[in-house]
Chains A and B, each alone.
Chain A
Amino acid sequence: MGSPIPESPTTVDLSRLAVGRSVSAAHVRRWCDDLNFLRGRVVATVADVPAFADGDETGATHYRVAYHRTPGAIALRVETAITSNASNATANVTITSSEGTTWIMHNGLDGSRDLLAPSSGRVLNVYSGILDVSGHSDTMAVISLQIDPVASSRVFCHRFIVQEICLADTDAINNPTTEVGINAAWPIAPTGQLIEGANTESDGFARVLSELDNARYRTRRHIQFVTVEYATTSGYFATNTPKCTTVAPSWGSFSFVFGPLQLQTRPLHPSTANKYKVWVRYVCSVGGKLRIGVKPVGGSTTDTDITLSASSSWTSATLSSIDMPTTGTNGEVEITLQGQVDSSGSLYISTFALIENET
Chain B
Amino acid sequence: MTSGMLDDGSSLDAGTCHVIDNNISHLARVSMRHLAWWPGKIDLTNWGTGSGPTPYTGYIDVSPPENAQDFQTIPWVHGAGAVAFGPFDMIVDRDSDRGLQIRKIRVVVGEVVANGTNKLTLFFALTPDRESPWNGLFYTFSGAVVAANGTSKVTYDLDASVVAGNTQLRRITRICRDSGARGSRSVQVIPASVWVGAYGIASSQSIAAISVYEVRD
Chain A: residues with CB nearer than 8 A to chain B? 2, 5, 7-9, 12, 14, 17-21, 23, 27-28, 30-31, 34-35, 37-38, 41-42, 44-45, 48, 50, 52-53, 74-75, 77, 104-105, 121, 126, 130, 132, 134, 158-159, 161, 163, 165-169, 171, 175, 187-188, 192-196, 198-199, 205-206, 208-210, 212, 215-216, 219, 221-225, 227, 242, 258-264, 266-268, 330, 334, 352
- Which residues on B sit within 8 Å (CB–CB) of A224? 37
For the residues of A in contact with B, the DSSP-based class is: mixed
Decide yes or no: A258 and B11 within 8 Å by CB, A209-B1, A223-B34 being known contacts.
no
Q: Which of A48, A206, A352 has the most CB of B within 10 A?
A: A48
- Produce 1/0 per residue, B1-44, CB < 8 A to A: 10100111111111101101111110110111111111110000
**Are B30 and A267 neighbours in the complex by a CB distance under 8 Å?**
yes
**Are B32 and A104 neighbours in the complex by a CB distance under 8 Å?**
no
- How far, in whole Å, are A227 and B39 apart by their CA atoms in the complex? 9
- Which residues on B sit within 8 Å (CB–CB) of A48? 35-36, 85-86, 88, 212
- How far, in whole Å, are A159 and B25 apart by their CA atoms in the complex? 35
Interface flag for B160 (CB, 8 Å):
no
Decide yes or no: A45 and B88 within 8 Å by CB, A27-B17, A75-B174 being known contacts.
yes
Closest CB of chain A to B28's CB: distance in Å? 4
**Are A263 and B177 neighbours in the complex by a CB distance under 8 Å?**
no
Pick the contact of B28 from A14, A38, A263 — CB < 8 Å? A38
**Are A35 and B9 neighbours in the complex by a CB distance under 8 Å?**
no
Decide yes or no: A167 and B11 within 8 Å by CB, A31-B21, A126-B130 being known contacts.
no
- Which residues on B sit within 8 Å (CB–CB) of A31? 20-21, 24
- How far, in whole Å, are A50 and B85 apart by their CA atoms in the complex? 6
A–B complex contacts, Cβ < 8 Å, 18 sampled = A8-B92, A12-B25, A20-B14, A23-B17, A31-B21, A45-B33, A45-B35, A75-B175, A105-B175, A187-B12, A209-B1, A212-B20, A212-B23, A219-B31, A261-B39, A261-B209, A262-B211, A263-B211
**Are A205 and B6 neighbours in the complex by a CB distance under 8 Å?**
yes
CB-CB nearest 3 A-B residue pairs: A8-B93, A168-B187, A52-B79
Pick the contact of B18 from A17, A34, A267 — CB < 8 Å? A17
- Which residues on A sit within 8 Å (CB–CB) of B136? none
- Whose C-beta in chain B lies nearest to the C-beta of A334? B110
- Whose C-beta in chain A lies nearest to the C-beta of B82? A50
- Which residues on A sit within 8 Å (CB–CB) of B106? 264
- Whose C-beta in chain B lies nearest to the C-beta of A130? B175
- Produce 1/0 per residue, B169-182, CB < 8 A to A: 00000111110111
- How far, in whole Å, are A263 and B108 apart by their CA atoms in the complex? 9
- Which residues on A sit within 8 Å (CB–CB) of B8? 193-196
- How far, in whole Å, are A8 and B12 apart by their CA atoms in the complex? 26
Interface residues on B, range: 35 or more
**Are A166 and B89 neighbours in the complex by a CB distance under 8 Å?**
yes
- Which residues on A sit within 8 Å (CB–CB) of B111? 259-260
- How far, in whole Å, are A220 and B178 apart by their CA atoms in the complex? 23
Q: For window 164-196 of chain B, which residues contact chain A by CB distance below 8 Å?
A: 174-178, 180-182, 185-189
Closest CB of chain B to A270's CB: distance in Å? 12
Interface flag for B84 (CB, 8 Å):
yes
Chain B: residues with CB nearer than 8 A to chain A? 1, 3, 6-15, 17-18, 20-25, 27-28, 30-40, 59-61, 78-79, 83-89, 91-93, 100, 106, 108, 110-111, 130, 153, 174-178, 180-182, 185-189, 209-213, 215
- How far, in whole Å, are A107 and B186 apart by their CA atoms in the complex? 17
Pick the contact of B40 from A34, A52, A263 — CB < 8 Å? A52
- Which residues on A sit within 8 Å (CB–CB) of B153? 260
- How far, in whole Å, are A319 and B180 apart by their CA atoms in the complex? 37
Decide yes or no: A262 and B110 within 8 Å by CB, A17-B17, A50-B78, A53-B79 being known contacts.
yes
New contact pairs (4) apart from A53-B79, A126-B130, CB-CB < 8 Å: A192-B12, A193-B11, A215-B27, A268-B30
**Are A198 and B1 neighbours in the complex by a CB distance under 8 Å?**
yes
Pick the contact of A225 from B20, B30, B39, B189 — CB < 8 Å? B39
- Whose C-beta in chain A lies nearest to the C-beta of B213? A264
- Which residues on B sit within 8 Å (CB–CB) of A45? 33-36, 88
- How far, in whole Å, are A188 and B8 apart by their CA atoms in the complex? 10
Decide yes or no: A266 and B7 within 8 Å by CB, A45-B35, A168-B185, A212-B24 being known contacts.
no
Pick the contact of A74 from B6, B86, B177 — CB < 8 Å? B177
- How far, in whole Å, are A239 and B40 apart by their CA atoms in the complex? 15
